[in-house]
Amino acid sequence: MQIGRKAKPESPEEMALVHHALENPIRRKMIILMNQGILTVTEIAKAVGESMLDYQLHRLELAGLIEVHGGQIVLTEAGVAYGGLVLLEKEMGGADKI
């Protein structure tokens, strides 16, 4: 797995994009799956469904959490970090909608 460059949000606007991306239970599930090694658009579609998949991926990409290249998803450093936090939240019972 190759990690993209963007390490963390650098402005309040970028932080708002991350918050918006991760407030959605489908996107939280997607970022967990990506952190566990599911890194193709096809695999994500099988795991979460194809409904609005392009939109969901776009929101994660706008937030700087992923990059999509030819059907492959590359997590950024921020994607790995936030994905770990979302997984921890789920394990602690806080992300009950995942």
The CA distance from 32 to 66, in Å, is 12
The verdict on domain 12-91 having CATH code 1.10.10.10 is: yes
Place of tokens 């658009």: 41
> What are the boundaries of each domain within the chain?
12-91
pLDDT tens by residue, 13-48: 888 999 999 999 999 999 999 999 989 999 999 999
Q: What confidence category does residue 12 fall into, taking pLDDT thresholds of 50, 70 and 90?
A: confident
Residue 96, pLDDT score: 57
Mean pLDDT for 7-18 is 79
Q: Both ends of the chain: CA-CA distance in Å? A: 24
